[in-house]
Chain A
Amino acid sequence: MAAGVATWLPFARAAAVGWLPLAQQPLPPAPGVKASRGDEVLVVNVSGRRFETWKNTLDRYPDTLLGSSEKEFFYDADSGEYFFDRDPDMFRHVLNFYRTGRLHCPRQECIQAFDEELAFYGLVPELVGDCCLEEYRDRKKENAERLAEDEEAEQAGDGPALPAGSSLRQRLWRAFENPHTSTAALVFYYVTGFFIAVSVIANVVETIPCRGPARRPPREQPCGDRFPTAFFCMDTACVLIFTGEYLLRLFAAPSRCRFLRSVMSLIDVVAILPYYIGLFVPKNDDVSGAFVTLRVFRVFRIFKFSRHSQGLRILGYTLKSCASELGFLLFSLTMAIIIFATVMFYAEKGTSKTNFTSIPAAFWYTIVTMTTLGYGDMVPSTIAGKIFGSICSLSGVLVIALPVPVIVSNFSRIYHQNQRADKRRAQQKVRLARIRLAKSGTTNAFLQYKQNGGLEDSSSGDGQALCIRNRSAFEQQHHHLLHCLEKTTCHEFTDELTFSEAMGAVSLGGRTSRSTSVSSQPVGPSSLLSSCCPRRAKRRAIRLANSTASVSRGSMQELDTLAGLRRSPVPQSRSSLNAKPHDSLDLNCDSRDFVAAIISIPTPPANTPDESQPSSPGGGGGGGGRASSTLRNSSVDTPCLLPETVKISSL
């Protein structure tokens, strides 16, 4: 858990008083705090330099070396201090992390050495604070490139892996958005690109004059009229492809409404519509004029290239974001044009045979002069006209030159931002994944604890596995808090896997696996229970019923698993790591896998002599072979019998 949370635990537990009147079951007893240790000052000796700090400071981050029981390995009983044979300069930064919650990166140290120290003390590099993060990353990257390691792999970032079993629609959409994800998508991408190019080129070529067949006089007509069928076929093919692509995108889009309103789809529609309109319009002369103009819109097909080119997209985005600058340019130009056109008109009014017939006619002269084009089709002839004409051309240069650099700098800024954004996006994915992993670690810690029979009575002291007893006071209290919440709401925490099992499992012949824990807990009047948790009673009944009359492979599996219990999955907390190497009795925290088939007929609760604990169904899955869960990493298979075997068999 992160920043200083341990110090707030008393408050969170106190706030649980708010649940008490609501709880319909008695809440579990609190874990006993072994000895009321006041806060003490610890001495940490790192290669001779002594650092002193409060114990609470170090306890803030229980999943690091200094915060967990791992530091006991370094404890020197003679001197009463913790001795580490490491770099004292680096340790200063590590200790400051505990004090302030932010890990700073030393500027003058080698980044590799810093990384090694972090690894030793159990700190993930992601904890480096934002102030030093960029520099840390930059230096690390430089380092890696210098060593010619291939770190580009982590930044090349393929698209996120789709969850298995995503629908065709989702897969299609993803193939459209990221062509690099599969070869089919890549092929489709290139094919569409090719056809866009072909279509555009055909449009251009069909207007080139081809030499007609030898005839007198040799007549030149555009190629389009000479080979009408060929061009028509090519056009049809392209439009068919584009239509197919558009319909597929429409089908695959997660939000069709939004897709329809997006710019790209509008371009698609505009690109293919003229063809269809042309098909249905009869070929008479009145309408064909309009039809010909429609063909102009075919040129919009070239904008379809923007899907294929990021640069085009950036350009479009720049223009959109520079809209205010462009607007300013336009506005000031308009003002200047009107002013100068008026002036030129009145200046040239007296001349005979002048081109400046009206003010709007003078607009053309003004625009051409201000943009320094100077076609020469309209020239002033009076002296006043020439004077104002020169002023016009000078001011034109100024007015146009001013906003342009702003637009250019905007483009450059956006372009670089885009580059950096891509880089950061790739890195962010990794960060989020790690944060999620850490978060699931906490979540799983409680589930793990439940599986390992942590909810048993502590009266069966020896029966409890060492890994349970080795939990820190913080963990104990936190788990007690979560347990209280479970009791208040009559629901239990489970993991994703069991949840999805439970969702789909209530059917005849379906199998789920549950682990059950054994010892009973003193319980209030059962009437209260049965009204509160009818489901729980049902489940108990089912379990009881199933043990005697289990359907299908359930019973066989049960007997099998009773004999050889599977090892529990990868321990998530440091304290349970301590328990790992022991293989003697009671020291392993095994999950008890018992597979029971669910019969959908709920039998009324028979006389229930002992109140089975609300079991955590998260442990099972052994027989079912669901290897995909992160919890299930049964690499070590040390079967171990626990003294309290499940009472199911005893029924």
Chain B
Amino acid sequence: MSGCSKRCKLGFVKFAQTIFKLITGTLSKDKIEDELEMTMVCHRPEGLEQLEAQTNFTKRELQVLYRGFKNECPSGVVNEETFKQIYAQFFPHGDASTYAHYLFNAFDTTQTGSVKFEDFVTALSILLRGTVHEKLRWTFNLYDINKDGYINKEEMMDIVKAIYDMMGKYTYPVLKEDTPRQHVDVFFQKMDKNKDGIVTLDEFLESCQEDDNIVRSLQLFQNVM
């Protein structure tokens, strides 16, 4: 019933506003559709040579990447909405927006709210061509939602839930309520060496490097370009 009472309150406020408008006789309509002009922030990336020096891509690869990037975002920056939309197209089954949000924050290293081409290419360079150490650091940064240097259970729960959301509703076996929690528990069991409830960067690096599966899988995406 709380939704009901909230709606009642809103209705009452609107009613009072209408009476006020009646009395003062204002002619202006409620909904003034302000077409906010999207200020086209046009951003040009640094030169090709600079980017090539900073990342592990060749010139041709950078060209291919930039053409795709520019086509999707002519202004030169990606904002979170576009990011979510793009990512969601790869996972039509479920809802990829939460995970895309965390990804966006991981890409947006300067926390400006938009991802420029340099950020994009830097992250891709780490993920595709970086060393195991760099990749693991990037992943730690992704999991550490509030960027305080530690991963605690709540952050992990959020991430795992976001990943499970991407699966969508129709899965086999049927997703149960506590599946994410179980997954997080297993993860913490493995990663949290000193059992203090948080995972630090060193614990994370150490545990991942011990696990052969993970190290092997990290090589999976080498040939993505």
Contact = CB atoms under 8 A, between A and B. Distances in A.
A2 to B, nearest CB: 7
Given A8-B68, A14-B124, A324-B29, A485 B163 contact: yes
B106 A18 contact: yes
B201 to A, nearest CB: 12
A101 B71 CA distance: 9
A489 B162 CA distance: 11
A641 to B, nearest CB: 26
A332 B24 CA distance: 10
B18 interface: yes
B93 A443 contact: yes
B198 interface: no
Given A20-B214, A22-B160, A485-B91, A4 B71 contact: yes
Interface in A226-281: 257
Contact of B170 (A17, A19, A496): A496
Interface string A10-53: 11111111111111111101101100001100000000000000
Given A5-B89, A485-B163, A491-B172, A324 B142 contact: no
Interface string B212-225: 01101110111111
B73 to A, nearest CB: 10
Contact of A14 (B60, B89, B123): B123
A4 B72 contact: yes
Contacts of B124: 10-11, 14
Contacts of A486: 167
Interface centre among B21, B22, B217 (most CB of A within 10 A): B217
A281 to B, nearest CB: 32
Interface string A323-337: 111111011100000
Interface in B179-225: 179, 183, 186-187, 191, 204, 207-208, 213-214, 216-218, 220-225
Nearest to B123: A14
A35 to B, nearest CB: 11
B90 A327 contact: no
Given A324-B21, A494-B171, A488 B163 contact: yes
A442 interface: yes
Given A13-B224, A18-B106, A493 B170 contact: yes
Interface in B132-159: 135-136, 138-139, 142-143, 159
Contacts of A3: 72
Given A7-B68, A492-B172, A495-B170, A324 B89 contact: no
Interface string B116-137: 0000100110011000000110
Interface stretch (A211-219, A498-506, A626-634): A498-506
Given A4-B72, A14-B124, A30-B223, A494 B26 contact: no
B128 A14 contact: yes
Q: Range of interface residues on chain B?
A: 35 or more
Q: Is the interface of B mostly helix, strand, loop or mixed?
A: helix
B174 interface: yes
Contacts of B218: 17, 20
B29 A26 contact: no
B72 A12 contact: no
A585 to B, nearest CB: 30
Contacts of B128: 10, 14
A494 B163 contact: no
B219 to A, nearest CB: 9
A29 B220 contact: yes
A327 B22 contact: yes
Contacts of B222: 30
A493 B168 contact: yes
Contact of A491 (B27, B68, B167, B221): B167
A492 B171 contact: yes
B154 to A, nearest CB: 15
B171 A7 contact: no
Contact of A532 (B63, B87, B173, B186): B186
Contacts of A406: 27
A54 interface: yes
A318 interface: no
Interface centre among A8, A19, A54, A406 (most CB of B within 10 A): A8
Contacts of B216: 26
Nearest to A499: B170
Contacts of A20: 135, 139, 208, 214, 217-218
A478 interface: yes
A323 B170 CA distance: 49
Contacts of A443: 92-93
Contacts of A503: 174
B163 A22 contact: yes
Contacts of A498: 170, 172
A199 B75 CA distance: 66
A131 to B, nearest CB: 15
A21 B208 contact: yes
Nearest to A538: B173
Interface of B: 1, 4, 18, 21-29, 60, 63-65, 67-69, 71-72, 86-87, 89-93, 102-103, 106, 120, 123-124, 127-128, 135-136, 138-139, 142-143, 159-160, 163-164, 166-175, 179, 183, 186-187, 191, 204, 207-208, 213-214, 216-218, 220-225
Interface of A: 1-5, 7-27, 29-30, 32-33, 38-39, 54, 56, 101, 257, 323-328, 330-332, 406, 439-440, 442-443, 477-478, 481-482, 484-486, 488-489, 491-496, 498-499, 502-503, 524, 531-532, 535-536, 539, 616-617
6 contacts: A7-B64, A18-B139, A21-B208, A39-B67, A492-B171, A532-B186
